[in-house]
Structure formats: structure tokens, C-alpha cells
Amino acid sequence: MKFFPDSLAVNKGDTVRFVNKDLVVHDVTEELKQTWTSSPLSTGKSWDLVITQNVAYFCSLHVVMKGKIVVKR
Amino acid sequence: MKMIKLFVKVNLLLLAIMLMQALPILAQENPTLSDPEVAHVAVVANQIDISYAEIAKKRSKNKAVLKFAETMANDHNAVIDQAAALAEKLGVTPKDNAVSQQLLADAEKTRKTLEASSRKAFDKTYIDNEVAYHKAVIAAVKGLLIPETENAELKELLQNVMPALETHLKHAEKVQKEFEGK
Ligand SMILES: [Cu+2]
């Protein structure tokens, strides 16, 4: 199980949509201090994040699932 | 004659299960499980991990262990739901068999070990078993269940479960590091 793509470069202000295409529940959570989270997303559910700065995230339910998004400059 | 032959086959299968962890390749030479039996083994293997998670939820106080156990219960339940839905769609009734029985007998021993371990030792005992159990299940799904399966949809479901099992193993190994040397 992984975030795909697990590394992404976007423009500042872009919205990134996370879609759970797996058969189990996942979430998207800020990695360092868990400052934000999507909360659990069941199969087929999606969640949007507006990117204003670089972010490192993980799935708090499967802590080895990780990804990052960087702002192009 | 037929009885004897069956008995030998079952024994070979159990031997293969025992060897699988070390030698996954061996298991590929045992064409002895029907699809209803494969489905049964798959459901039992998931139920066993849920039962371990339930013990952990009762006995652990460690946040990482509790979260891991919660994920195991949820994910393995989701897999059982998928398997049940597919079995119903295909009109297959999961059939009890020697492999399922062996898994349950081993699980009973593990349950006793988990229940008997001291409060202090519980987390490490649980997570060590989760690492070993997921390794064994991954070997069994890859080396026995997938090759044994005739039905394409059942085979696909088993293949789709593999990434979850691999992730569970990595997750368990990560939590295990916390208890290293304890
Ligand atoms: Cu996840």
C-alpha cells in the first residue's frame, strides 16, 4: 500500500485531491507534528488539500505509508 | 488405498506450511487445495490476526501498539468482508480443511502465550508474534494460496491483499524497534 505518486511538485495555491482506491481505510496526516489530518477515508472517499508550503505527510493508520508535496519555485 | 493417499497429501501440505517460512518455493508443489478450501484458509488467517488484535486492545497500554492493533482489526475485517462478498457472488461456500485446522491449532497456542505473558512483556510478545505471523501469512498466500487458486477473481483478491500484508509487516517491524533489547 502506498501513496501514488508519493512525491509531487505543484504550484503554490494548487489543490491536491487524495482518493482512496484501496480496499481498506487510510488517512492523510501531517507527518512531523500531526498539525492536520484528513480523518479516516474509506474506499472511494477523497479529501482535498490546498498547498501553501512544502508538506510531508503519512497515513496514521499505516505509519510506514509516507509522501511529500513541494511547492515549485 | 484412497484414504492413505489423502493422508499423505495432507501431511505433505502441513510439512510445506512448516517449511514455507524458510523455503517459500517448496509450497508451490502442493496442488491439494480446492477454491472453497483456499477461501476458508484466507478467512481463518484473517480472523486469527483479529483475535490477536482483540487481546492487544485488552492488555496493552502502549499507544503505538494499540493503534497497530486497531488497524489490524479494521484491515483484516475489510479483507474478510471482501472475501465473503466474492464467495457469495461466486456461489462458493468456504470449506474447512487441514490447513485451516493447523492454523487454528497454532493460533490457540499463541493466544495462550499472549494471555499468559506478564503485563510488562506483553507488548513485545504481541508485536514479535505479529512480525512472525505476517511473514508466515505472506509466504503462505504467495507460495500456497495464490498458486492453488483456480478462479481468476479469487486469485485477484488474494493478489490485492498482498500489499496490505507487506505494509502490516513493515508497520509491525517499525513498532518492534521500540521494544528492541527490552
Ligand atoms: Cu493507510
Domain-located, residue A2: no
Residue A13, pLDDT score:
95
CATH number of the domain where residue A14 is located: 2.60.40.420
CA distance A14 to A68: 14
pLDDT in tens, B70-124: 999 999 999 999 999 999 999 989 999 999 999 999 999 999 999 999 988 999 9
Q: In this prediction, what percent of chain B has a pLDDT beyond 90?
A: 74
pLDDT in tens, A3-56: 999 999 999 999 999 999 999 999 999 999 999 999 999 999 999 999 999 999
Measuring CA to CA, how many Å separate B47 from each of A2, B50, B102, B134, B179? 24, 5, 14, 13, 26
Most A CBs within 10 A among B67, B71, B130, hence the mutation to make, goes to B71
Strand bridging mode A55-58 / A29-30: antiparallel
pTM for this entry: 0.84
Domain that holds residue A22: 7-71
pLDDT of residue B2 exceeding 60, the answer is no
Residue B182, pLDDT score:
59
Domain-located, residue A13: yes
Find the CB nearest B78 among A2, A24, A65. A24
Measuring CA to CA, how many Å separate B30 from each of A48, B145, B151, B152, B157? 48, 10, 17, 19, 21
Using a 10 angstrom Cβ sphere, with 0-12 exposed, 13-18 middle and 19 or more buried, the burial of residue B120 is: exposed
CA distance B135 to B54: 20
Domain-located, residue A62: yes
Residue B181, pLDDT score:
64
ipTM over 0.95: no
DSSP, res B94? -
Domain-located, residue A1: no
Quote the number of domains for chain A. 1
How far apart are the two ends of chain B, measured CA to CA in Å?
54
pLDDT of residue B29 exceeding 90, the answer is no
Q: How far is B101 from chain A (nearest CA, A)?
A: 27
Q: Which fold has domain B2-177?
A: Ferritin (1.20.1260)
Domain-located, residue A67: yes
Map out the domains of chain B as residue ranges. Answer: 2-177
